[in-house]
A and B are shown apart, each in its own frame.
Chain A
Amino acid sequence: MGNLLEIKNLSIEYVTDERTNKAVNNLNLKIREGETLGFVGETGAGKTTTALGIMRLVPSPPGRIVSGEIIFEGENLLEKTEKEMREIRGNKISMIFQDPMTSLNPIMTVGEQIEEVIKLHEDLPKDELRKRAEAMLETVGIRKERFDDYPHEFSGGMKQRVVIAMGLACNPKLIIADEPTTALDVTIQAQVLELMKELKVKFNTSMLLITHDLGVVAETCDYVAIMYAGSVLEYGNVERIYNNPLHPYTVGLFNSIPSLDEDKDKLDVIPGTPPDPANLPTGCKFHPRCSKCMEICKQKMPEPIEVEEGHYVSCFLYDKDVKEGR
C-alpha cells in the first residue's frame, strides 16, 4: 500500500505581538491508503493545528505554516493555490469537527447541508442531488424522512451522524476526524465509532483520528502517533505500541489509565505540565518531565529511531550510540 499522505518536517506557529506559539514542530507523519491513524496527545499538543494545516485552514493571521511539506497523492498541498485547495477540501479530504452541536448551520435543514457538500464538487441535477443526500443519510443510519428537519430537532449523536454523512458525501480519500466523540456520551460514542469504522471500510477511505482517548485508539486504529508539544514522539502499529510502549511519555500515558484489576486510591500521573508553546525547552521537549532524563536530552532533540519494524521512537534511551557512551 502506498502512502496517501506524508507530512515532512511540518512546523506551524501562531504569531502575535507579544509571543510566538510554536504549535507544531518538525512533525513527520504518514498515512497509507485505507489505514486509520490515531493521533494522540494532551490538550494543546498541536493535534488540531496539524489537522487544520493539512486542510490549509490554519487561521491566518495569527497562524503561519513555517516550513515543511504535506504530500497528498504525490502532490505538495502547501504549494497548491487556494482554488485548488477548495477542490480538495470536502472532496478528497474532509474533516469532521469535534462538536456536532455547533458544526451544523442552525437554519439549514440537514438534507440541504449534505446536498451543499455534493453540489460544491459535483454537477448533478436537483432530484439526483436529493437522492444522493438521502442515500447518505440512510448510510449513517438516519431515516430519509428526516431530510427536511433542522439540526435542533436532532440529538447530539444524530447530529454527529449527519456531520459524518457530510464528510463522506463526496467519497473522500482521507477523513480527518477531530475528536469526533468528545462531545458525546459513552454509549453514543461507541455507536458513532462503530459507524465510522464500518463506513471507512465500505468507502475505502483512510482516516486520521484525533483523540486523547487511548481506548478509542485501541478500538479503531491501525497505527498510532503519540504527539507531545508539536512533534511525534512515538509512532507505530497499535498492537506494538500498546504491548510495548517505549518512550517514557507513552509509558506515562498508559500508566495513567485506571485499571479494572487493581485497587488504587490515586492514579499515576506524569509530573509537571505540558510546556508553554511560546517557550519550549531545549533538546527533547519532554525532558523536564521525564524520569529517565539524561544530560544529552537537555541539549539535543533525538531523531526517530526504528526499534522494531514500523515502530519509531524519538528518545535517546534507544539510541545505541548514546547507550554505549559514545
Chain B
Amino acid sequence: MAEANAIAKGKKENKSNSQLMGVWIRLKKNRLAIFGLVILILLILMAIFADILAPYGYDEQNLQNTFQTPNLEHPFGTDEFGRDILSRIIYGSRISLQVGIIAVGIAVIIGGFLGAVAGYFSGKVDNIIMRCMDVLLSIPQMLLAISIVAALGNSLANLMIAVGVSSIPQYARIVRASVISIKNQEFVESAKATGSNDLRIIFKHVIPNCLAPVIVQATLGIGLAILTAAGLSFIGLGIKPPTPEWGAMLSGGRMYIRDYPHLTLFPGIAIVVTIFAFNVLGDGLRDALDPKLKQ
C-alpha cells in the first residue's frame, strides 16, 4: 500500500510538471542558453548578496586613492572619487536587474491585458486599442522613454515607468496575435457553452495558452530594458548619484576614458554580459517552447 502510494505520488509530481519538464529537457540541450541561464543566476545571487560580496560600500569615497588601475586591493580599480568599481558594479546589478524586471513586468501586464482584450473582442475595441498602440509605436522607444522621464522627473521609479510604458505596444501586439489564433479553437467555444463569461475565458483559457511567445519576448525584453535604462542614465536622465547604476557609471567615466579606460570598461562589460545572457536564454527558450521542434 505504502509502495503504491509512493508510486502514485511520484507519478503525480511528474505529471503536474510534464509540460515544464519537456521545455526544460529541450532547453538543457542548448548549451549556450544554459550558459546564459547560469550567468543570470550568478547575477541574481550577486544582487541579493551584494552586501556580503562587495569589498567596499558603493559610496565609500577615498580621495587619496582616486583613479587606481586594477590591483589586488581594488580588482577593478577605483573611480574619480576613489570608490571601488567592483563594489559599485556589484551594487549596480541590483538596480539594473530591478529596472529590467519591473519595467518588463509593467509592460507585460499592461500590454498583455490590452492585447488580450483587443484580440478577443476584435472589431471596434480592437481598433481603438491597437491604434493607440500604433501611436506609441510610431515614436522611437528611446525618445518616448526620454520624454516620459523628462516629464516625470528622474528617479528609479520613473525610470522603470518610462522604460516599461515605452515597450507596452510590443507585448500588446504579440499577445493580440496569439489570442486571435487561440480564441477560434473549440475549447474556447466549449468554455462559452459551459457558461463562462468573457473575462474568465480570457484569464483561464486564452492567456495561459499564449504565454510561450510572451515569455520569450519578456526575456529578450529585460535585456533591452536594462540597455534603455543604462542609456537614459548615460544621458543624465536616469538615477541620481551616488546610486551606482551601470549606465551612469559609464557616463561618469566618459570624461576620463583616455587616461583611465577602466572606469568605463568594467561597467560596459557588466552591461554586455548581462544582456548577452538574457538574449541567449531568450533565444533558447523560444526554441524550447516551439512545439514544432518537439521530438
Contact = CB atoms under 8 A, between A and B. Distances in A.
Interface in A113-146: 116-117, 120-121, 145
A80 interface: no
A196 interface: no
A148 B15 contact: yes
Interface stretch (A15-23, A35-43, A86-94, A280-288): A86-94
B208 interface: yes
Contacts, number: 74
A93 to B, nearest CB: 9
Interface centre among B195, B197, B208 (most CB of A within 10 A): B195
A87 B194 CA distance: 9
A97 B194 contact: no
B190 interface: yes
A102 B186 CA distance: 6
A104 B194 CA distance: 12
A103 B208 CA distance: 16
A16 B8 CA distance: 54
A121 B208 CA distance: 23
Chain A, interface size category, equals 20 to 34
Given A103-B190, A104-B187, A150 B195 contact: no
Interface in A44-103: 55, 57, 86-91, 94-95, 97-99, 102-103
Interface centre among B189, B194, B200 (most CB of A within 10 A): B194
Contact of A116 (B189, B197, B204): B204
Contacts of B19: 107, 150
B195 A89 contact: yes
B193 A90 contact: yes
B209 A107 contact: yes
Contacts of B177: none
Given A105-B209, A150-B15, A91 B195 contact: yes
A95 B195 contact: no
B28 interface: no
A196 B18 CA distance: 31
Contact of A106 (B195, B200, B209): B209
B116 to A, nearest CB: 16
Nearest to B196: A120
A95 B197 contact: no
B189 A57 contact: yes
Contacts of A98: 186
B195 A148 contact: no
A166 B194 contact: yes
B190 A95 contact: yes
Which 5 pairs from chain A and chain B are nearest by CB?
A: A90-B194, A89-B195, A90-B195, A102-B186, A95-B193
Given A89-B192, A103-B189, A106-B209, 17 more contacts: A86-B195, A87-B195, A88-B195, A89-B194, A90-B194, A94-B194, A97-B186, A97-B193, A102-B185, A104-B187, A104-B190, A105-B187, A107-B208, A148-B12, A150-B19, A153-B15, A153-B18
Interface of B: 8, 12, 15-16, 18-19, 185-187, 189-197, 200, 204-205, 208-209
Interface of A: 55, 57, 86-91, 94-95, 97-99, 102-109, 116-117, 120-121, 145, 148-150, 153, 163, 166
